[in-house]
Structure 1
Amino acid sequence: MKKKSLSTIYLTIVFLILYAPIFYLMYYSFNSGGKMYEFESFSLEWYKDLFQNTRLLIIVLNTIIIALLSSAISTILGTIGAVGIWHLKKRQTKNVLLSLNNILIVSPDVIIGASFLIMFTIVGIKLGFSSVLLSHIAFSVPIVVIMVLPKLQEMSSTLIDAAKDLGASNFNVLTKVILPYITPGIFAGFFMALTYSLDDFAVTFFVTGNGFSTLSVEIYSMARQGVSLTINALSTILFLFTILLVIGYYFISKRNGRIIGLGARK
């Protein structure tokens, strides 16, 4: 009982440390004054300024388009990569590919961003929408592989053997057995890639050109010019949007788990 209470207290402290700055920021986004240390009165002035800022709204749209496109493409490529690694027979080759995949995840963002900048400069790709999209796809693919591969590894080989015994082709096995089983992992990979894309700053900062920007880079630029509660309003909306994504992912995972469970019973 004592251990349980201590763990509860510890978790409460951890969550307070994590969420207190966010709620502090959200609280002052409704401050009629332009300060973050003296709340004058409730106001939606900063939200009004935010939605009247055409440039910032275009940047928000750019960020969402980049995140959705990069997540969708990286999910397709990552799923194909995970299936390919899972199908490999040689354990040594599989371990090498997994190690190369994991290196991209743990490598510092500054190094990755600088590498992309050098590569795009050499190849001749203009910095802007294309360079940011390609960069986000590149660092999202390994994340999708990591999310999908465990679902493939926990899948029993008897499912595939049974499907083949019933006359299913390799394509039918892939589309009607493997993909439905790993759907939760695919969705998890998509939402993780989406979150990383929306959140990324370091890599995007290196590959963003003139005339194109994402929210993370824009917020950084705004913060350097001085404290503006418009940033608080924007951050509040982003935080609420992230919560909606998490809730959506939770219900999709729950629904997919229920469908798989019903299929197993049948």
Structure 2
Amino acid sequence: MDRKLSPVSKLYLAVIFFILYAPILFLIFYSFNSGDTMYDFKGFTLDWYKELFQDTRLLIIVLNTIVVALLAALISTMIGVLGALAIHMARKRNTKNALLSLNNVLIVSPDVIIGASFLILFTMAGIKLGFYSVLLSHIAFCIPIVVLMVLPKLSEMSPSLIDAARDLGASGWDVFSKVIIPYISPGIFAGFFMALTYSFDDFAVTFFVTGNGFSTLSVEIYSLARRGISLHINALSALLFLFTMLLVVVYYFISKRNKPNGMGVGK
């Protein structure tokens, strides 16, 4: 049964959300400031947004970041689904636990260690730091996230579904593409959007593997902030926040569409 929140619980949630969102709203508010600082609001203006869209170099960096995030999310989702299937289908419990532990180690490992490890690896392998080094690094740390998103859906799936499909003459590919994938699709979408988010805002790993001729948004904002805060960074952050909210809304509607309605399959 649904339980109503007490007034204390509602107040607690309100305080938590205020603490989380107040800095973001403060940043967005001053992106419309006609002044040059975040200390004194002198009037409403869109000049900082105009300056942002006139900064060709920054727009190219934004495009680079989006391309890397989309490719990393897509490739890591495909590999992560196969990895989750391999862990789920492992017959020995010790083997399954060992594989899952290895997957979890990559998630809890500090980003600094992962970034330094990739830097050493790419240097020893002779891979030039740039687009491909950033993409490979993002794919690597996004795969474990996808695995964790997909595994619960595989655990929920009844083995009788696969047995029934095989009894009806379905091939191995048909079982995979028409039974398993549709059933675990909510987990796949969740893994894709989580990987997209992690790749989009990653800084620590990207800082180590970014070359001189290539940069992502997180690294660029860090370098800009060291030289002094400009309000066109506020404008960029406001647009990125709206983009993130759009991703959340899209994921919400996809999850809602794929959620079972609780009704019977048929008579």
TM-score, structure 1 as length reference: 0.97
Distance (whole Å) between structure 1 residues aligned to residue 136 and residue 5 of structure 2:
48
List per-residue Cα deviations over 1:172-226 (Å, max 9, x = no partner): 1111110000000000000000000011000000000001000000000000000
- Classify 1:159/1:57 alpha carbon distance in 2 versus 1 (closer, same or farther; 3 Å): same
C-alpha change, 1:111 and 1:69, in structure 2 (3 Å) is: same
1:179 is aligned to 181
State the distance in 1 between where 2:85 and 2:28 align: 42
Structure 2 distance, partners of 1:55, 1:24, is 26
Equivalence map 1:185-204=2 (5 Å): 185-204=187-206
2:213 pairs with 208, 211, 214, which one? 211
One-letter code aligned to 1:137: I
- The Cα of 1:106 is off from its aligned counterpart by 0.6
Give the corresponding residue for 2:265.
265
Report percent identity of matched pairs: 71
Paired residues for 1:1-266 under 5 Å? 4-258=6-260, 265-266=265-266
The amino acid of 1:136's aligned partner reads H
Which letter maps to 2:153? K
In 1, Cα distance between equivalents of 2:262 and 2:45: 49
> TM-score scaled by structure 2?
0.96
SS of the residue 1:95 aligns to? helix
Q: Deviations over 1:12-71 (max 9, x none)?
A: 111100000000000000000011011001000100000000000000000000000000
- Aligned counterparts of 1:105 and 1:164: Cα–Cα separation in 2: 36
Letter in 2 for 1:72: L
Letter in 2 for 1:63: T
Distance in structure 2 (CA, Å) of the matches to 1:107 and 1:34: 40
Deviation at 1:3, TM superposition (A): 6.8
Q: Distance in 2 between matches of 1:127 and 1:211?
A: 9
Amino acid aligned to 1:25:
L
> Which residue identity lines up with residue 36 of structure 1 in the other structure?
M
- Pick closer, same or farther for the CA change 1:181–1:3 going to 2, 3 Å: closer
Alignment-mate amino acid for residue 6 of structure 2:
K
Deviation at 1:261, TM superposition (A): 5.6
Question: Counterpart of 2:6 in 1: which secondary structure?
Answer: helix
TM-aligned CA distance change 1:139 to 1:9, over 3 Å: same
SS at 1:182's partner residue? helix
- Once residues 159 and 17 of structure 2 are traced to their aligned partners in structure 1, the CA distance between those partners, rounded to angstroms, is 41
SS at match of 1:33: coil
Show structure 1 runs of 4+ deviating over 3 A: none
Distance in structure 1 (CA, Å) of the matches to 2:97 and 2:4:
43
**Equivalent residue of 1:209, what SS?**
coil
Q: How many residues align?
A: 264
- Structure 1 gaps of 5+ residues are none
